Amino acid sequence: MKGIFTALMCSFDEKGKINEKGLREIVRYNIDQSKVDGLYVNGSTGENFLISTEQKKQIFEIVKDEAGDQIKLIAQVGALNIDEAVELARFATDLKYDAISAVTPFYYKFDFEEIKDYYNTILENVDNQMIIYSIPALTGVSMNLEQFGELFENEKVIGVKFTAPDFFLLERIRHAFPEKLIYSGFDEMLLSASVLNVDGAIGSTFNVNGQRAKQIFELAQKGQLAEAREIQKVTNDLISEILENGLYQTIKEILKTKGVDAGVCRKPMKALTDEKIQKAKQIAEKYV
């Protein structure tokens, strides 16, 4: 379960329906071209919080059918509705996903005991292993070292996707819990996290930049930091241009230049203007 995991995009048509052919092509591109170690399915990058429970299940099914056992699969099942989270966790487990993951419950100001109960409730209902998804900037939930430790007391909790720029906390978690899987969640900080000996990374830009991400991670493990820095610099140039043009929409347009039917983003995300579509093509030509 170590290495580079793509936070998988999903292809949608103009009506917001899943484009199965396009989704399969995205999966294949990540396996055959990017050669990543795994896929993180139905996370933020997959527009998970904009789709129905049935659509989430459909995505889990299509991805598992296309990927088979060629690559490790993590199913993000987190939802504000705990019953939905449990239902999705059972569904992904029945499909033989290698692990489940769940974003911390958000919107309402849940205290830590409620957050811990949320994870334990999911895990009481499935025979699978859990990766906590911590992304304070989007959920408003920040946890300290002791709280991560309490979550890790559940033996089914095997690690965390750590999407925060707090490298002090990241180092403390790594040192305190050497047996747990720690994934970096910020693509632009991959090298910095790798130096702290994380076990891998999960990122949206890996859909189009997976090979560079693997190089950064592997070079850092070998102590070849100068080489890794050069690749991180190019990666961050790419990320900067993608962010300026529109994150998810631009990644989809880049995939299209590679023959992948990546579709469009669901509303309320807006479509790219013709000018930005041309910019995405220029980014692809320059970096991908």
Query: How, if at all, do strands 72-76 and 200-203 pair?
Result: unpaired
Kindly report the CATH number that applies to the domain delimited by 3-224.
3.20.20.70
Distance CA 187, CA 16 (A): 27
User: Is position 205 annotated in a ligand binding site?
Assistant: no
Q: Name the one residue in this structure whose structure tokens are 């103009």.
A: 14
Distance CA 151, CA 118 (A): 10
Distance CA 169, CA 154 (A): 20
Any idea which residues carry the catalytic annotation? 133, 161
Q: Name the one residue in this structure whose structure tokens are 């007391």.
A: 153
Distance CA 12, CA 95 (A): 22
Distance CA 2, CA 134 (A): 18
Distance CA 119, CA 143 (A): 14
Instruction: List phi, psi (to 5°) of 75.
Output: -100, 115
User: Is position 188 annotated in a ligand binding site?
Assistant: yes
**Tell me, what's the pLDDT at 6?**
99
Distance CA 18, CA 8 (A): 14
**Tell me, what's the pLDDT at 193?**
98
User: Is position 204 annotated in a ligand binding site?
Assistant: yes
Among 7, 2, 1, which residue's Cα sits nearest to residue 187? Answer: 7
**Tell me, what's the pLDDT at 55?**
99
Distance CA 163, CA 177 (A): 17
**Tell me, what's the pLDDT at 209?**
98
Kindly state the tokens that stand for 123. Answer: 């895990």
Distance CA 198, CA 275 (A): 39
Residue 49: DSSP 8-state: G
8 Å CB contact between 201 and 210: no
Residue spans of beta strands (DSSP E) within 187-267: 200-203
**Tell me, what's the pLDDT at 57?**
99
User: Is position 187 annotated in a ligand binding site?
Assistant: yes
129 Cα distance to chain centroid: 17
User: Is position 202 annotated in a ligand binding site?
Assistant: yes
**Tell me, what's the pLDDT at 253?**
99
User: Is position 44 annotated in a ligand binding site?
Assistant: yes
Each residue's pLDDT tens digit, 185-208: 999 999 999 999 999 999 999 999
pLDDT along the chain (288 residues), means of 10: 98 98 99 98 98 99 99 98 99 99 96 98 98 95 97 98 97 98 98 98 98 99 98 99 99 99 98 98 98
Q: Name the one residue in this structure whose structure tokens are 């998970």.
A: 48
Element (H, E) at 161: strand 157-162
- At 41 the three-state DSSP class reads strand
- At 134 the three-state DSSP class reads strand
